[in-house]
Amino acid sequence: METTYDSVIEQIVQSIFSTMLNINLVRVEEPAPSDHESLLAAVQIAGQWTGSAVLALSFDVASESAAAMLKLPLQEVTEADRKDVAAEIVNIIGGNLKSVLPGPSFLSLPTIIAGQDLDLQVHHAELIDDVVLRTESGYLRIRLYAKGA
């Protein structure tokens, strides 16, 4: 059975959002709504431990995060800004997770998908953690997949 890292994921993401973006997150147990426009950002982790970290951001959370990171007024945030910031955030999450997973391992470049009702399947991998957090502006979700046996 695969070890779960949900409390580590929660701490990493809360720390990133609090210190870098000045955005407070609260863990929630209900699933994030999937009927809104969102961004999916993913990084692959390969080595001693192999898997993927997938970050889903609602449109509003992606916009708020981009505005905070890039120090822009919210109304000036572009789609490219949202994607760049989502890529940076998932890269930071992946790097922090890599340090607590069995190593050595390497991180891929981030992959970004934007749209509505998005879903991402990680082929030959098992979902081992699914953490949903909420800000004042919306939801974000972090899923950790491990390569199946």
What CATH code is carried by the domain that includes residue 116?
3.40.1550.10
Q: How many CB atoms lie within 10 A of CB 73?
A: 7
Domain count, the chain: 1
3-state secondary structure of 112: strand
Percentage of residues in the chain with pLDDT exceeding 90?
77
Mean pLDDT across 89-106: 93
pLDDT exceeds 70 at position 77 = yes
39, 113 contact by CB (below 8 A): yes
Domain range for 128: 6-147
Answer yes or no: is 1 within a domain: no
Percentage of residues in the chain with pLDDT exceeding 70?
92
Answer yes or no: is 69 within a domain: yes
Answer yes or no: is 22 within a domain: yes
Mean pLDDT across 106-132: 88
Instruction: Share the mean pLDDT of the chain.
Output: 90
Answer yes or no: is 133 within a domain: yes
Answer yes or no: is 103 within a domain: yes
Answer yes or no: is 140 within a domain: yes
- Give the DSSP letter of residue 120: -
Answer yes or no: is 95 within a domain: yes
Of the pLDDT bands very low, low, confident and very high (cuts 50, 70, 90), residue 23 is very high
3-state secondary structure of 12: helix
Answer yes or no: is 115 within a domain: yes
